[in-house]
Structure 1
Amino acid sequence: HTNSVSLSPAAWYPLGRIVGGTVYPGLMVTAGLIHYVLNLLHITVHIRDVCVFLAPVFSGLTSIATFLLTRELWNQGAGLLAACFIAIVPGYISRSVAGSFDNEGIAIFALQFTYYLWVKSVKTGSVFWAIGCCLSYFYMVSAWGGYVFIINLIPLHVFVLLLMQRYSRRVYIAYSTFYIVGLVLSMQIPFVGFQPIRTSEHMAAAGVFALLQAYAFLQYLKDRLTRQEFQTLFFLGVSLAAGAVFLTVIYLTYTGHIAPWSGRFYSLWDTGYAKIHIPIIASVSEHQPTTWVSFFFDLHILVCTFPAGLWFCIKNINDERVFVALYAISAVYFAGVMVRLMLTLTPVVCMLSAIAFSSVFEHYLGDDMKRESPPIEDSSDEDDKRNSGNLYDKAGKVRKHVSEQEKTEEGLGPNIKSIVTMLMLMLLMMFAVHCTWVTSNAYSSPSVVLASYNNDGSRNILDDFREAYYWLRQNTEEQARVMSWWDYGYQIAGMANRTTLVDNNTWNNSHIALVGKAMSSNESAAYEIMRALDVDYVLIIFGGVIGYSGDDINKFLWMVRIAEGEHPKEIRESDYFTPQGEFRVDKAGSPILLNCLMYKMSYYRFGEMQVRDVQLCVHLQTAPNWRPVPVTWTVD
C-alpha cells in the first residue's frame, strides 16, 4: 500500500483518493527532504527513522522559537523559562513524542516561528522580517489546517492596534507585505488552492487589509488638511471603508462567490452545531469540550500562573504585547471548546507563565543582585549626608533613622524574599515532576499498543491491534478489501497492507455514512451494501471479554448518527433506543439494535463462550495476558 501515487486505489475503495488534493504536504516533504539531505551528506539513515524522530527534533526547534518570541515580548530570562516550560509540558509532548508522525508535530514550530517573525516585523517595520514571516506562514499552510488561526489572529492584532490608535508606518509595512505575499504563497498548496480568496475564514484578513489602506491614506492627508477637516474626514472615511468592506463580504457570500464558514470552523462558535449537523466531526474524541481535569493534566501549575503573566503584559502594554494578549484570550476560548486545540493554547501559556515567574524572580532577587554590585554615588546620597541633622524628608514626614532602615531591610524583607523564592522553586520542581510522570505514563505508549494496570500495580500490555493486523496480513489475499469503521483505516492500510473502504482522512462524508449504514442495518440489508462495495472482510473491535471501553459498540451510536445524516429514511437514531430512551445491549435492548450487523458480529457466540469456558475465565486471574483469537467474518 502506498500513497505516493496521485490516485490511491488502495484507499477509499472503490472511489480511490486523490492524495495531493486531500492532504497537507508539509509533513511528507519535510521528512523526505531531511532524508535526502542526510543521504546526500553520506549519513545513511532509513526513512522510517527520520519519520520516528521528526517530532522530537521539531520540538527542540519549537523551544528555540518560543525563546525568541518571548525574548521579543519581555526579556531574555523570560525567554529561557518559556523554552524550558514548552520543552517538558505534557500539552505539547503529547504530540511530539518519538513516533508521532503527525501534522501537529511540525506545525507548532511553524506557528511559533511565524508569530516571532510577525512580532519582529511589527517592531522594526522591516520588509525583510515581513518576508520571513510570509515564508514561515507558507510552511505552516503546507503543514496543518490550523494556519487559519494565524490568518485570523494577525489581522485581529492589526485591527485592535487601529482601534487603540497605535497605527504606525511599521504596522502598515508589516501587514501589507504579509497579506499580499502570504496570500500568494498560501495559494500554491494544492489542498488550499483558491480558498484564501473564496472562503469566509479568510475574509477577515482581506477586510483588515482594505481598512488599513484607507486608514493609511487618511493619515497621509493629515498634513494637508486643517485639524477640524481632518477629524471629520477621518471618522467619515474609516466608517465608510469599514461599512463597504462588511457589505461587500456579505454580498459576495450571499451570491455564492465566497463560501460560508465550513462546519469544522462554525462548530468552534456554536458548540452544539457539529452534533446536530455534522456528527462525523463531533464523533471524534479530540473534538469534545475540554474538562478542567484536562487543563490541569496537560498544563499543571501553568494554568494558575499564566493569568499573572497576561496581567504583567497588559500593565506594560505595547504593540507586541497587544498581540500576545489577543493570542492568549482567543487560545483559551478555543481550547475550552475543543480538546484538540489545547495544542494551540500550550505555547502561549508557557510564554505568559514564564513572564510571570521571571517578573517575580526579578522583583525578589533583583535587589540582592544590585546590593552585591558596588554602590553608585549620586546627588541624593550627598544631600542626605549634608542634611543628616534634618529629621524631616521633603514630604514633611518624619525621616527614619539609618539604623531603623537597616533593621527593616535585614529583618522582614530578606525573610519574605527567601520564602517567596523557595515557594517559586518548589512550584517549578513540582511542575517538572508532574511533566515527567504524565509523559512516562500517559504519552509514551503507541496508540496501537495499550497498557493497563492491575490492583497490585502490575502492568498488562494489550497488543491485540497489532496482532490482528498481522493476522490479516498473513491470512488474507493481497487484493482483499476490508470494511471497517474509519478509525482503523490508516492502521489497516499501513500494518495489514490491505485495501480499505474508508480511513482517517474524512474527506467524503457520504461514503463513511454508507459504511455506517451497513454496520447499523440488519444482515440481509448489510449484505447487499457490502456486495455492492466488493467487500471481502469486515473488521470490528470488540472489548466485551476484557472490558475494553473503546470498542465499536461504544462508538456505534456515532455510526448511526452519521448514517442518519445521509440516509434518514432507512436509519433513525431513535430506533436503537428502548421505549424508555435507554441504549442497552442486553436482551432488553431495541430489536433493531439486537439484529444489526455490528451487534451480531460483536456478540457472536458470546454467551456460549461464557458458559463453556468458565474454567478458562477463572484462569484469567492467573493469566492476565490471555486474549481471544481475532475473528474475521468472510463475505462469500
Structure 2
Amino acid sequence: MGGRDKRKASEKIIRQSPARRRYVSETIYSNYLKRLSIIISITLLILVVAFGIYLRILPLVNSHFYGYPTFLDELDPYSNYYVVKYLLDHGLLSFWDLKPPNPAAEIFWYPWGRDFTKTDVPGIYYTIYFLYLPFSRYIDLMTFMAYMPVIAAAISLIGVYLVSREISGSEIASIIITGLVATFFMDRTVAGFMVKYTIAIMITPWIFYIFIKAFKTNKTLYYMITGLLLAYSAYSTGLFAASYVPIYATLLLAPFVMKREDLRKLLINTVLMSIPVLIVFVSTPIYGYIYVVKNLGLVPIAVIFMLTIYDYVYISYLKKRALLTYVGTLIGVVVVGVILLQTGFLGIAGKAAQALGFYHVLGTLSFTIAEYQPTNMGYVLNIYGSVFVLSIFSVIYNLYLTFYRKDLVAFFISIQGLIMLYVLTNLSYFLSLAVISMALTASSFLGLLVRHSSTMFIKLRRYFSFSSLLAVILLISILLSHVYIVYSYHIPAYRTHLPMIVTSGISVSIPSDAWIQALKWIRNNTDPDSVIVAWWDYGYWISVLGRRASVADGSTINGTQIELLAKFFTATNESDAIKILREDLRLKPNKTYILVYDVFTVNRFGEYIVPLNWADAAKGISAIYRIAGVNIDYDIYGNNTPSYYTVGSGPQRYVKVYRMPDGSIRIAPNWASDYVRNTTLYGIMIDGALHIFKGYTFYSEDPNVGGQPVQPPEFKYLKPAAIFMSYIPIYGNSPNSYFEAYVMVFIYQFVE
C-alpha cells in the first residue's frame, strides 16, 4: 500500500474513532454489568444456600450442646444405616442377600423376617454407600449419614434456583424463591433425617429443570438425561411419582399446544426418555413386570401409545377432527382407568392410591397415621403462606399463558402445579415435597411481579403504571409475610429441634435419655436371641440400636402383624395376651420382653403419680385400640354424628372426655376403667410406675381435678425386668416444686 493510501485509511479511522470509542465503551460497560450481575447472583445464591445449611445443621449442634453423640433423627434412617452398614461389611452385592433365612434380615418382623429386596428400593442404599466410601477412613457412617440430608438440601436448593430461573427468566425471582425454600422447615432435610424422601427432595428440582429445557427445545439429549434422572429417582424412592406423573401428564396433553412436526420428534424423545425408567421397573423386585402392566409403570407405555395414534392415525385420517377425537379418547381412557382402579384390576395402592383420592387403602392402619390423612389447607396457608398464595396465582397465570399463547413451559407449570395441589389435599405425607413444587410453580408469577416492579426503579420517571405499583405492593407484602412466618415458626423449629432418640420421642425439645438407657440395657443385658415386643413405631431403634429382634420393624409392610400387636396390647385378660405371644408370634418365655413408655407427673408431697399421655398412652386411643378392632368413635360419640356437641355422649369405656373451662375438649385414656387398666399396655405402665415409686398412688388424673385412684392388674407371666426414667423440667427447676415429670420406659419380661 502506498503512502497516499495509508494516509486515507488513517484519516478514515480518525473520523470513525469517536463512534467506535462509544461503541467499544458501551460494549465493555455492558459486559461489565453482565459479569457483575453474575457475580452478585452467585454470591447471593451461595449466601442463601449457606444459610439453609446452617439452619439444617442446628439440630445436630443442639444435640452436641447437651453432650450427646451424633444420632440419626426420627426412626426410618436407622433402617437405612443398618442396610448400608451391612453392605460395607459384606460387599456391594450383599443387599440381594438381605432376606430370610439370612439372620441379618430375621431380626425384623420376627418370626418371619423381612425381605429387603422385595420391600424396598436399593438406590438409596447404594447412594449412601458410594458417597461414603471416600470418607470411610475419616468419619463413621452414622455421622456421615447425619450430614447427608443437609448436603441433599444444598443440592436441592441449587436445583430450585436453576429451574426457577428457567421458569421466571429473572435472577431476582429465582434468588427469592430459593431463599423462601431455604428458610422453610422441611423435616426430611434436617441433619440426621436421611430417608428416601430426602432423595426425592434432592433430585426433583433437577428433573424439572432438565425436563423444562427438553420440552422447550425438543432436544433429544435433554430428554435422555431426564429419563436417566427419573430412573435414578424410581430406583431410590417411591416419591419418584412427584416428578414422573406431571411429566408424563404434560407429554400426554402436548398435542393441545405443540405443532405436528414437533410432536413427531416429541414421540421419539418420549420413547428414548422412557427406556431407562422401564428398565428400572422391570429389573427391580419391588416393582417387577407386573408394575408395568397394572401400576404406574403402565404410564409411559400408555402415553407413547396415545401420542402414536394421534400422530399416525387421527391427524393422518381425521385431520381437523383429530384434536376433538383425541379429547374423546382421553376422556374414555380416564373413565376406564378409574373403573379399573375401583375394581382393583389396576394395582395402584398405598400412598399413591390415597394421593389420587382413593382413601385409606391400607385399611384401619392408615387412619392412625397422621401423614396419611388429608392436608389441612389452613395449616398450609399459615405455615407456607408466601409460596402457597404465589403458586395459586401462578397456576391461574400459567393457564392463561397456555391457552392464549401456547406457552410450553407455562403448560408444564400448570399441570404439575394442579397435580401437586390436588395430591396435597388428599395426603399430607407429600407436604415437604409439595413445598418444592409450590415454590417452582410460584416462581413464574413471582418473575412477573419482579418484571413489573422493576419498571419503577430502572427508569426514574414521574408517572408509572398502576400494574407496576400493584406488583411492588404484592411483592413487598409477600416478602414481609414470609419474614414474619419464618421468624415465628420455621427458624424456631430448627433452633429447638433435637434428634428424636435424644428426646425419647416426646413432643418437647428437652433432652431425655430414657430410651437411650433402655436400648443400651437391651443390648448388654438380654440374650442375643431375645425378642422385644413394642409398638411398631420403635422397631428400627430396637433392632438397630438395641441389636435385638423386633416383631414390627417401623414400616407398615405387615398390617396383619401390627393388628396382632394391637390385640396383644389391648387384651384385658393376661391369658389372651400370652396366647398371642405363644401361638401367633411364636415367642418363647424368658426370651421375650415387652416395652412400653410414656410421661408421668410425680407429686412428691402428695405421693401420687399422674399420667400425661404423651406417648404410648395417647397412641392407645388414637391408634392401637382402633387397629385392634375397637370402635373408639362410638366410645366417644355413641350413635350420634361426630361433632363438637356430641363429644362425650358415648359410653366412654376406653376414653375419658374432658370439657375444659375455655370450651376446648381433651380426650384421654379412661385409666380408671377396667377396659383400660387391665390391658397389657396400660397395665404395665400402672404396675411399673408403682414399682418404682413404692407406696405412691396412681391416679387417672390429678386428684385435685377429680382424678380417681387406679389399681394395677395382677400379672402372672409379665414381670418387670428394667425400668428407666429421665427427668424433664416441664414444671421448672425450682427445688420447692412438688411436681416432677419423668419419661418412663418399662421393660417387662415374659416368664413361665
TM-score category by the smaller chain?
0.7 to 0.9
Greater CA deviation, 198-207 or 522-531? 198-207
**Structure 2 residue corresponding to 1:13, chosen from 96, 107, 110:** 110
The one of 738, 742, 746 aligned to 1:631: 746
| Equivalent residue number for residue 540 of structure 1 | 596
**Deviating more after overlay: 421-430 vs 462-471:** 421-430
Q: How many residues align?
A: 575
- Tell me which residue corresponds to 1:105: 198
* Pair 1:231-2:320 in alignment: yes
TM-score, normalised on structure 2?
A: 0.68
The 2-side partners of 1:435 and 1:96 are apart by: 16
In the alignment, the residues of structure 1 paired with residue 732 and residue 594 of structure 2 have an alpha-carbon distance, to the nearest angstrom, of 30
What is aligned with 2:533? 483
- Pairwise CA distance, 1:633: 1.0
Matched, 1:324 2:413: yes
Within a 5 Å distance, the mapping from 1:59-74 to structure 2 comes to: 59-74=153-168
| Aligned partner of residue 363 in structure 1, secondary structure | helix
Give the CA deviation at 1:21: 1.6
| 1:465 match | 515
Q: Per-residue deviation at 1:137? A: 0.6
Q: Is the 8 A contact 1:361 1:421 kept in 2?
A: yes
The corresponding residue for 2:33 is none
Consecutive unaligned residues of structure 2, counting only runs of 5 or more, are 1-78, 87-96, 100-104, 602-609, 639-649, 656-668, 698-726
Say if 1:420 and 1:514 are closer, same or farther in 2 by CA, change over 3 A: closer
Show CA shifts across 1:553-584 (max 9, x none). 222242233343xxxxxx77689779833233
**In structure 2, distance between residues paired with 1:418 and 1:273:** 45
Q: For residue 364 of structure 1, what is the aligned residue in structure 2?
A: 453
Q: Which residue of 1 aligns with 2:719?
A: none
Contact kept, 8 Å, 2:248 with 2:300, in 1: the verdict is yes
Q: Show the counterpart of 1:134.
A: 227
Separation in structure 2 between the aligned mates of residue 161 and residue 65 of structure 1, nearest angstrom: 25
Relative distance call for 1:236 and 1:265 in structure 2 (3 A) is closer
Q: Residues 449, 166 of structure 1: CA spacing in aligned structure 2 closer, same or farther, 3 A cutoff?
A: farther
Match of 1:301 in 2: 386
Match of 2:352 in 1: 265
Q: Report Cα offsets for 1:296-317 as digits up to 9, x if no partner.
A: 4541432333323334433433
Q: How big is each residue's C-alpha offset from its partner over 1:26-85, in whole Å with a ceiling of 9 and x where there is no partner?
A: 22111110112445xxx7333223211111111111111112222222214232222222
**1:449 is the counterpart of 2:505:** no
Query: 1:151, CA displacement in angstroms?
Result: 3.3
Q: 1:207–1:246: 8 Å Cα contact kept in structure 2?
A: no
Alpha-carbon distance between aligned partners in 2 of 1:252 and 1:301, rounded to the nearest angstrom: 36
Aligned to 2:542: 492
How much has 1:366 moved relative to structure 2? 2.9
Is the contact made by 1:218 and 1:237 (CA closer than 8 Å) also made in structure 2? no
Which residue does 2:582 correspond to in 1?
531
TM-superposed deviation, 1:625 = 7.0
Match of 2:511, SS? Answer: strand
Letter of the structure 1 residue corresponding to residue 174 of structure 2: G
Deviates more, 1:338-347 or 1:574-583: 574-583
Residue 291 of structure 2: aligned partner: 196
Deviation sequence 1:115-145 (CA, Å, 0-9, x none): 2222221112122111111110111112211
SS of equivalent to 1:44: coil
Q: Which structure has more strand as a fraction of its residues?
A: 2
The 3 A distance-change label for structure 1 pair 110 and 482 is: same
Partner letter of residue 79 of structure 1?
A: S
After TM superposition, list the pairs within 5 Å mapping 1:601-612 onto structure 2: 601-604=684-687, 612=695
Give, in whole Å, the separation in 1 of the partners of 2:472 and 2:326: 58
Mapped contact 1:69–1:112 kept (Cα < 8 A): yes
Residue 27, structure 1, aligned to residue 114, structure 2: no
Alignment correspondent of 1:384: none
Name the CA distance, whole Å, in 2 between partners of 1:407 and 1:243: 58
Quick one: distance in 1 between partners of 2:199 and 2:458? 40
Q: Which residue of 2 aligns with 1:556?
A: 620
Give the Cα–Cα distance (whole angstroms) in 2 for the partners of residues 537 and 453 of structure 1: 22
Instruction: Tell me by how many angstroms 1:206 deviates.
Output: 3.0
Paired residue secondary structure (1:146): helix
Return closer, same or farther for 1:247/1:180 CA change in 2, 3 Å cut-off.
farther
Q: CA deviation at 1:430?
A: 3.3
Q: Quickly say closer, same or farther: Cα 1:407–1:433, change in 2 above 3 A.
A: same
The whole-number CA distance in structure 1 between the counterparts of 2:332 and 2:393 is 38
RMSD: 4.0
Q: Please say if residues 489 and 503 of structure 1, whose CA atoms lie closer than 8 Å, have aligned partners that are also in contact.
A: yes
Q: Percent identity?
A: 16
Distance 2:732 2:352 in 1: 51
Separation (CA, whole Å) in 1 of partners of 2:475 and 2:227: 42
Larger mean CA deviation between 320-329 and 185-194 belongs to: 185-194
Q: Which moved more, 1:591-600 or 1:519-528?
A: 591-600
Q: Quick check: 2:504–2:515 contact (8 Å CA) kept in 1? A: no
State the secondary structure of the residue aligned to 1:540. strand
* Distance change >3 Å, CA 355–CA 481, structure 1 → 2: same
Q: Does 1:337 align with 2:426?
A: yes
Q: Distance in 1 between matches of 2:360 and 2:469?
A: 55
CA distance in 2, matches of 1:326, 1:234: 19
Structure 1 residues 625, 186: CA separation in 2 closer, same or farther (over 3 Å shift)? farther
| Cα distance in 2, alignment partners of residues 148 and 413 from structure 1 | 38
1:287 and 1:338 in contact (8 A); partners too: yes
Query: Could you say which residue in structure 1 is the equivalent of 2:374?
Result: 289
Other-structure match for 2:146:
52
Determine the structure 1 residue equivalent to 2:493.
439
Structure 1 regions of 5+ residues with no counterpart? 223-228, 372-405, 565-570
- What is the distance in 1 between the residues matched to 2:282 and 2:168? 34
Q: Deviations over 1:585-614 (max 9, x none)?
A: 44663x444432222112226578789348
* Aligned residue type for 1:291: N
Q: Is the 8 A contact 2:385 2:482 kept in 1?
A: no
Work out the CA distance in 2 between the residues paired with 1:197 and 1:494: 34
Change (3 A) 1:60 1:609: closer
What is the distance in 2 between the residues matched to 1:527 and 1:477? 20
Q: Distance in 2 between matches of 1:271 and 1:243?
A: 20
1:244 CA displacement: 7.9
Distance 1:581 1:118, change over 3 A: farther
- Structure 2 matches for 1:107-186, cutoff 5 A? 107-163=200-256, 168-169=262-263, 170-186=265-281
CA contact (8 A) 1:23 1:191 kept: yes
Deviations 1:280-333, CA, capped at 9 Å, x for gaps: 222112222322453145414323333233344334331121111121122122
Task: Give me the TM-score of the superposition, normalised by structure 1.
Answer: 0.79
Do the aligned partners of 1:519 and 1:596 also contact (CA within 8 Å) in 2? yes
Q: Report the Cα distance in structure 2 between the residues aligned to 1:364 and 1:588, rounded to whole angstroms.
A: 65
Amino acid at match of 2:576: A
Quick one: structure 1 residues 581 and 149, their matched pair in 2 at CA, closer, same or farther if it must change by over 3 Å?
A: farther
Identify if the C-alpha distance between structure 1 residues 507 and 337 changes in structure 2 by more than 3 Å, giving closer, same or farther. Answer: same
2:683 aligned residue: 600
- AA of the residue aligned to 1:602: M
Measured after TM superposition, the shift of residue 113 of structure 1 is: 1.6
**Which string of whole-angstrom CA distances, capped at 9 and with x for unpartnered residues, describes residues 463-520 of structure 1?**
3222222232233223211011100001111222211111112211112222222112
The equivalent residue for 2:302 is 207
> Residues 608 and 108 of structure 1: is their aligned pair in 2 closer, same or farther, counting only changes over 3 Å?
closer
The letter for the 2-side match of 1:295 is V
C-alpha distance in structure 2 between counterparts of 1:552 and 1:251, whole Å: 40
